Amino acid sequence: MSGRREELRGRLDAVQARIAAACDAADRDPQELTLVVVTKTYPASDVTLLAELGVTDVGENRHPEAGEKAAEVAAPLRWHFMGGLQTNKAGAVARYADVVHSVDRAKLVASLGRGAAAAERDLEVLLQVDLGPEFGRPSDVRSGAAPTDLASLADAVAQTDRLHLGGVMTVAPLDVDPTPVFERLAALSQRLRADHPGAVTMSAGMSNDLEAAVAVGATHLRVGRAILGERPPLG
């Protein structure tokens, strides 16, 4: 276990150094950013080690794996669910997630609202935007709502008890320069805040493109492989 701890410590330190350098280049304060360590497919023991190393936010994208891990880990972490989510699983996810990054349709908003209300807990949600078509990629490559649907989705969240609109999220399409993608997300975020001033979160940037995300104003970085290593095959 000590060997794994030191491996995670070294990788975490390296990522934090990258974030610090990116913030320095962008004249930003690293305290403005939240690092969400994506622990999907890795055991709860790794999550516990990360918490001991100072990690406060972890991300998962598969249910029920995410819920089982959240129940097993005793550390007081903030759990982010960031995978595609079926409406029939939304109620269960609302019982343990603190933030859902992948809200992309009105039915999912309603299901999460019902689940959060039943669990008597508040849930932050981010609107996932599919920017693939704007950059020459088919819309089914990534999950997400079309930019034209954001306003109505945001209003639906704002009108749903127990849900809080945190902001927006995207994943840069594969083999596309991430900078213009994240710049587009930043513009959409600014437009959204005109009607929903509290929606300040911009979740963008992963292991390969976190510097580009920092440069355009991302508030949350979702980093897995650079910290945990190459992922084992999915079962």
Is residue 192 left, alpha or beta, with left meaning phi > 0 and alpha meaning psi from -120 to 50? alpha
Give pLDDT, residue 233. 64
Contact call for residues 34 and 219 (beta carbons, < 8 A): yes
Fold (topology level) of 2-228: TIM Barrel (3.20.20)
Q: What is the pLDDT of residue 141?
A: 54
- Please, what are the averages of pLDDT over each run of 10 residues along the chain (235 residues)? 92 98 98 97 96 98 95 97 94 97 97 98 97 85 86 98 98 94 98 98 97 98 96 63
Domain ranges of the chain: 2-228
Q: Kindly report the pTM of this predicted structure.
A: 0.96
- State residue 138's pLDDT score: 82
CA distance 83 to 150: 18
pLDDT of residue 143: 82
Q: Which pLDDT score, from 0 to 100, does residue 36 have?
A: 98
Residue partners of 205: CB distance under 8 A and separation at least 6: 178, 182, 211, 212, 213, 214, 218, 221, 222, 223
Which pLDDT score is estimated for 165? 98
Residues 142, 130 contacting (CB under 8 angstroms): yes
Report how far apart the first and last C-alpha atoms of the chain are (Å, whole number): 24
d(CA 65, CA 3): 25
